[in-house]
Amino acid sequence: MLQLTLFYIFAVLAVLGGIMVVVHRNPIYSALSLILTLFALAGEYILLMAHFIAIVHIAVYAGAIMVLFLFVIMLLNIRIEERAPGALRYMVYIGVPMAAILFLQLGYLAFKGFQEVYVKNTDVGTVERIGQALFSKYVLPFEITSILLVVAMVGAVYLSKRKLEIVE
């Protein structure tokens, strides 16, 4: 009972945050609403006994990526949308049909594949289990992901360096 109540609270918060991200004119508020959504999702993960995922979710998305988002928004001081409401008016004609198609697709899949699932093993989401899976069964994808990250990092460093040279 408590679990179900908590699930609905988190679900409502997540959806509310998501709507706020899209609707709000001020990008700072949009970013903060996204953080609310991320927290609500972390709550759902905890209800699924996936503590590790929940904590990493908060640490990576809310703790690092969203801080950078805020930093960039504040640094650039984006006020175009706020000053000129309706400047992105034509987006509506693409955005609404796209959203409708996505919603129908996902809804259809969820409806077709719906079945009640109980979380039987309560230690599925623990660090030990994830670590074992990551370094035995999924070791190749794991290593490939790390290479991908290194490539992205090198690329970011290179791009920022080149810009500096142009300035000089």
| Least distance (Å) between residue 66 CB and other proteins | 8
Asked if 37 and 2 touch (Cβ cutoff 8 Å), the reply is no
Q: Which is nearer to other proteins, 116 or 128 (CB)?
A: 128
Residues between 76 and 105 that touch other proteins (CB under 8 A): none
By CB under 8 A, is residue 126 in contact with other proteins? yes
Q: Which is nearer to other proteins, 123 or 143 (CB)?
A: 123
By CB under 8 A, is residue 24 in contact with other proteins? no
By CB under 8 A, is residue 35 in contact with other proteins? yes
By CB under 8 A, is residue 28 in contact with other proteins? yes
By CB under 8 A, is residue 139 in contact with other proteins? no
Asked if 2 and 53 touch (Cβ cutoff 8 Å), the reply is no
By CB under 8 A, is residue 41 in contact with other proteins? no
DSSP string, the chain: -HHHHHHHHHHHHHHHHHHHHHH-SSHHHHHHHHHHHHHHHHHHHHHTT-HHHHHHHIIIIIIIIHHHHHHHHHHHT--HHHHSTTTTTTHHHHHHHHHHHHHHHHHHHHHHT--------TTTTSHHHHHHHHHTTTHHHHHHHHHHHHHHHHHHHHHHHHHHHHH-
Stretch that binds other proteins, among 55-63, 81-89, 108-116, 147-155 (CB under 8 A): 55-63
By CB under 8 A, is residue 7 in contact with other proteins? no
Residues in touch with other proteins (CB under 8 A): 28-29, 32, 35, 51-52, 55-56, 58-59, 62-64, 67-68, 70-71, 74-75, 126-127
